[in-house]
Amino acid sequence: MTTLRLALCQVNPIVGDLVGNATIIREWARRAADAGAQLVAFPELTLTGYPVEDLVFRRSFMEASKAALGRLAADLAADGLGDLPVVVGYLDADGPPQVSGDAEPGHGARNAAALLHGGKTVATYFKHHLPNYGVFDEDRYFVPGETLSVVRVGGVDVTLTICEDLWQVGGPFAAARQAGVGLVININGSPYELKKDDVRLPLVRRRAAEARATIAYVNMIGGQDELVYEGDSMIVTAEGELLARAPQFVEHLLVHDVDLPAATDGPPADIELADGMRVLHRHIESLPATPTEKSAAGELLEPAADEAEVWQALVLGLRDYVDKNRFPTVVLGLSGGIDSSVVAALAVDALGADRVVGVSLPSQHSSEHSREDAAELAQRTGLDYRVEPIQPIVDTFLANLSLSGLSVENLQARVRGVILMALSNQEGHLVLTTGNKSELAVGYSTLYGDSVGGFNPVKDVWKTLIWQLARWRNAEAVRRGETPPIPESSINKPPSAELSPGQLDSDTLPEYDLLDPILIGYIDGDLGRDGLIEAGHDPALVEQVLRMVDTAEYKRRQSAPGTKISMKAFGRDRRLPITNRWREDGGAAEAAARLGE
């Protein structure tokens, strides 16, 4: 056996920031070298950020990525790190984009990994399995690779793989087994979903057994638009033993000494495997010296509990959206209700109280207890609190327009939206909207009113989970010896938009403990009417909820982006036509009847 000191760099790149991302790589490679590392790995597309989406089609960006990789290799050598093998994800191309008229079959943009050493690229690997589901569109952008690069590093045969390669049977991991490698480095841009960490470790163990090799899995952290990455990097042996596991939602350097099988004597020959993959061999002549001090052992950290995990994901997603897009501050309507209270607490945790403005926007229907709850939350958290009554503006509209009923309710919401956007324009804040996933699902919102905003931290959070998060965050504050941020009355009172006298959400919607399970089955689980009824839900309630969901698609298309935490967030995860006559409550029968006419 041969011992290699591995360093997995769980970092937070920014899409398109080639210079900044290269600086991150150089800084963390130096930290790894100072820790005695002999092989360093960075996440998927670290050099360009991930996902790059349609930037792939810009040849200028493609060429810039390739040039940045060459500069990075030279800079690492100039930094005195030439002997240190560094694995980096980047964007490559061996032909025009596939959407081009001059595209070449089997050539194009590549999701790539490079092993840098001695100021140059020693080996390159192109991602073989390209995901094309959920938020992923990699068949749109990339051409799959068919070659596995095996590099002999310090007497150990090491191969490179990328993210989705781990999620599919066969391909690179089967090839790695046939090639007899001792270590598979798997670099990732794997977005967070609740409970995904429960799936990840068993998956890595299955691939380690398939390859009969140790797997070093490194994942990025950080927010990118609606996606958030939680890290959770790890090292797992061929026998399935978890050697080390990094924390979630923070940048981290995982350094661990790994015992690996020594490569066979003699230079291996390049081979062609039965499934069409080719194995190419390379060799690195020099490495940093084997550390003589005490061995390095990474921590074995357990994933957080569900509420803690979701809270961290929402905080990180919000912070990175604000900071990476260079907004100085955020503003939100602070009603005293549970949704705005949770968003305010998230914003304070993400940015600090000095960067959060909460605005109470009372109308004649706003209850005294709601105003008091909003003020109390501001006092507990220390955010910048303001009161802007909307009734004089509403009355001006009503004096010039003949409105009644729902129109008046919506007018109040839209006046609030106008005020928040005016503050945004005047003072430079990003407006946060506060509608939860349950409300978005059934269209329980006002366009250009309470839905106004540039980002929605709780867009993918069901209403019942909102309450769980509020209780968890308060309990966590007590555990830390701090003041709970959310008033108990905001958590315990019946939810209400307070747009008409005595209004409650339950006047329009089913109780959320009945509503959410139906929504989860229909949206996350793709169950139809019959499947939901078979699951035990009341047929009349199922039909009512499905009608509300199906007719609200146009509203969801106009909703602000927000952090994805579920398996199916609104947006790229769920793509349904707005103009759509199919209905689960008899749509098929109606269509059949029309065809028979």
Question: Which residues are designated catalytic?
Answer: 44, 127, 163
* Buried b or exposed e, range 233-258, using 16+ CB within 10 angstroms: bbbbbbeeeebbbbbbbebbbbbbbb
DSSP 506: G
Among 50, 142, 44, 143, residue whose Cα is nearest residue 89: 44
Phi, psi of 291, deg, nearest 5? -60, 135
Both tokens of 46, joined, read: 């670290």
C-beta separation of 487 from 341 below 8 A: yes
Q: How far apart are CA 87 and CA 94, in angstroms?
A: 20
- Biggest alpha carbon distance in the chain? 90
Both tokens of 104, joined, read: 């070449």
Q: How far apart are CA 374 and CA 51, in angstroms?
A: 38
Beta strand pairing call for 227-230 and 221-224: antiparallel
Q: How far apart are CA 310 and CA 562, in angstroms?
A: 13
**Hey, which bits of 66-119 come out as E strands?**
86-93, 109-117
Q: How far, rounded to the nearest angstrom, does the alpha carbon of residue 19 sit from its chain's CA centroid?
A: 23
Q: How far apart are CA 378 and CA 498, in angstroms?
A: 20
The SS3 assignment for 559 reads coil
Cβ neighbour number for residue 331 with a 10 Å cutoff: 26
Among 573, 337, 578, 572, residue whose Cα is nearest residue 439: 337
Q: How far apart are CA 204 and CA 194, in angstroms?
A: 18
Q: What is the dihedral of CA 354, 356, 362, 365, to 10 degrees?
A: -130
Strand partners, 245: 234, 300
Beta strand pairing call for 356-360 and 120-126: unpaired
Both tokens of 191, joined, read: 């977005």
**Helices 338-351 and 368-381: angle between axes, nearest 10 degrees:** 10
